[in-house]
Amino acid sequence: MRFWLCVFPVFLTALASVRAQSLGGQRVFSFLDLPTHARVAALGGQVASATTPDGAYHLNNPALTDSIKNNELSISLMPYLAVAKYYTLQYGLPIRKAGTSGHSGWAVGLQYLSYGQFDLTDPAGNTLGTFSANDYALSLTHARTEGNFTLGATIKAVGSSIETYSAFGILADLGGVWRHPKRNLTFGLVAKNVGYLIKNYGPANRNAGSADLPFDLQAGVTLKPQYAPIRLTLTAHHLQRFDISYNDPNLNVRYDLSGNPIPKTISVTEKLARHLSVGVELLIHRNVNLLVGYNHQKRAEGRLTTGGAGISFGASVQAKGFQLTYGRFTSIPTAGTSQLSLRIDLERLLH
């Protein structure tokens, strides 16, 4: 517990210093908002809690490191925009320890978004070659369980490069979960992407530390009713800022009698709803689950341009040491994106 006595004062200090940051526009490392697993994508794109973790969740909440077992490998692939592809890899390290009052676990993760190759030209349009662009995050996670509580921390090296320009930062996720001792009920809390941007884009490296990071404070609850073959997950995201809506001044503008624009108002109920993401798992068989999710923020942002925005769905099939999960969601800027995840229990296959 000495580790956590050192970590959580830092955690509280970091939260106290977080400013209200933008959710879009000029943020760096926005790829960290992408789903890290097909199950997460199918359940609305945000997950902070889980009762019986059937997917790899430790990149969403480090306290859910028990969702990936010793020597268990999870690989995910998601085609993104045009030729861009998003990959994630999660692995449970075989160094978990059990003590007299609890146990601990370790895991590593990799998130990689490749934008492909681009033509490099001079001002006259002459081709000089090609260049690439990519984002990445390499992480190490540790979690410790004491009784019904689990605390976890993830430290990650995050980078981005576009031709000769690059950015680099050290970020952390800090989270905890509480599990009911007798019922399938779990509460989770996580602060994601707390840290410092060491290097910003451009040779001058200006405003590195002050750049907006994709910070997200989330809370969630997962419940499985005792006799119902369903599992419900509700997640509240971006709790550090009440109004996360974008009121486009060029959209549906009304004018008063003097010709002055009247700003569109957004109700308190709508502002609250934009923080919520809900997912439902239909447990039709012990090895087969159907998934459906709804994210109101994604729905509100994309409903005028993309049909079905905010709605997600998927399925998970398991056999012996393998699990295959498919998730599909629709949101801006994509018209529809699929993610496929494969989980391999290496320890079971080797014995």
Residue 293: pLDDT over 60: yes
Q: How far apart are CA 234 and CA 315, in angstroms?
A: 19
Q: How far apart are CA 328 and CA 225, in angstroms?
A: 26
Angle at 36 between CA 44 and CA 46, to 5 degrees: 30
Q: What is the pLDDT of residues 55-113, one digit of tens each?
A: 789 999 999 998 888 899 999 999 988 889 999 999 999 886 666 566 889 999 999 99
Q: Looking at the domain covering 38-350, what would its CATH class be?
A: mainly beta
pLDDT, residue 305, reads 67
Q: How far apart are CA 132 and CA 180, in angstroms?
A: 48
Q: What is the pLDDT of residues 139-159, one digit of tens each?
A: 999 999 999 999 999 999 999
Q: How far apart are CA 51 and CA 289, in angstroms?
A: 15
Q: How far apart are CA 175 and CA 64, in angstroms?
A: 9
pLDDT, residue 258, reads 79
pLDDT, residue 21, reads 46
Q: How far apart are CA 94 and CA 158, in angstroms?
A: 25
- Per domain, the residue ranges of the chain are 38-350
Residue 268: pLDDT over 60: yes
What DSSP letter does each residue of 33-80 carry, written as one string? GS-SSHHHHHTTS-----SS--S--TTT-GGGGGGS-TTEEEEEEEE-
Question: Model-level pTM?
Answer: 0.84
Angle at 96 between CA 91 and CA 101, to 5 degrees: 140
pLDDT, residue 152, reads 96
Strands (E), 122-242: 127-146, 149-162, 165-179, 185-199, 216-223, 230-236
Over its C-alpha atoms, the chain yields an Rg (Å, rounded) of 21
Q: Any idea what DSSP says for residue 160?
A: E
What DSSP letter does each residue of 105-135 carry, written as one string? EEEEEEEEEEEEEEEEE-TT--EEEEEEEEE
